[in-house]
Structure 1
């Protein structure tokens, strides 16, 4: 009787459809850039990206249609990537951590976290890079980093299944998520300190997004009814 009640209480599988929609949007926007002619691609880059100096200037102007369009670049930039390696890397992390986060917090809250925290991470990057002019900043890394931070805050003791190379063979192992995230975070920190700001990558946005994601998870933990308890790792 108890076992049947536990099975009834367990949540059924729900497809992470907003994770899917956002991923398809990233692929579509990036493919249009990568497959376009030079002049078309440059216009596409200008439309979806943001330039740090423009963001700072927009905050100094009264709220107009023009300034709102500039600030909107903080969010639209999350969908564009300038090469397939950058895109596929972000998608791999997005899916590795995003499925559990969307199931735990719900579809619309997941999208809200990705875009709001990703945009805030991009704003932090703009403040860091505001003296560099004519530098288009793009990429989903700020939003993906935020989702990784939310995952760590919600599931600090969860293990992740990974295929690890052992000689000529691959061995499946369950590794504590905190070790996977810790190695990722260390790389982001090293790149932020030693890696130059480049076309398409703002490393400071990665760290800001991650910190914002952890903070958001802490707030979700204390807010009643915001997390599906069956998915939360207490």
Structure 2
């Protein structure tokens, strides 16, 4: 089950979301160009990735931020940027550009601290934007629980795209992070699940003041749980047609987040 798009494009250009995607891509390409050997990669991660054991010793606090912009491979980067694009634009639209940037960075830092609290003696470098993006997803769930999200389901020879409410998709995702966090503690693994789960909860809590300012349950009543923008319709083409009227709906050497 993999989300590929939502049905409510933002009304304003999401400059911060686009800038964050661009920065992550540039950092990844720079790493590919500059890091040529295993020794260089180890030093790169030592300098910029978050290593819990170093943080426990009071070293390299800057890695709480720099690690959020590192990725361990193309698919790691692509998956994170897709999630950021799907859920970030509407959050930025409601929060405003600068508040959204602060929110994103705060979620990333606090999500890293959640993983640190779970494994404070780990020497595995942590890289990835997933903790910050999980915060965006938690906020999205609070503001737009009934927004439609298209998910791609692939099972052996069967595949199809289904639109489902955001609360189902995001609720299942969060539940899997909790489950995998527990099993990873037992069996080991290369994913920082507690950063995902922690970031999600932090993002939801951090969005509460905005939700209350918008009216709380009354905001859901006004918007029917959707972003307050015209809903896009998708045909056989992947290019959305936006209806501007007639609707109110608006194992590994690093640990990835």
Band the TM-score falls in, shorter-chain normalisation: 0.7 to 0.9
* Aligned position for 1:52: 52
Structure 2 distance, partners of 1:171, 1:82, is: 29
Structure 1: which 5+ residue stretches go unaligned? 1-11, 59-66
Counterpart pick for 2:105 among 115, 127, 130: 115
Counterpart pick for 1:190 among 169, 172, 179: 179
Query: What secondary structure does 1:71 align onto?
Result: coil
* Aligned position for 2:201: 211
CA contact (8 A) 1:33 1:45 kept: no
Judging by fraction of residues, say which structure has more strand: 2
Structure 1 residues 111-149: Cα deviation after superposition (integer angstroms, max 9, x where no partner): 1111111101101111211122x3211111110100000
Structure 2 distance, partners of 1:54, 1:145, is: 24
Of residues 143-152 and 80-89 in structure 1, the stretch that sits farther from structure 2 once superposed is: 80-89
Query: What secondary structure does 2:163 align onto?
Result: strand
Structure 1 distance, partners of 2:78, 2:15, is: 19
Query: What secondary structure does 2:164 align onto?
Result: strand
Judging by fraction of residues, say which structure has more helix: 1
Question: Cα distance, 1:108 vs. partner?
Answer: 1.0
Compute the TM-score of the two structures, normalised by the length of structure 1.
0.78
Aligned pair count reads 210
Structure 2: which 5+ residue stretches go unaligned? 1-9, 229-248, 251-257
* Aligned position for 2:12: 14
Alignment root-mean-square deviation, CA: 2.9
Compute the TM-score of the two structures, normalised by the length of structure 2.
0.72
Structure 2 distance, partners of 1:118, 1:30, is: 18
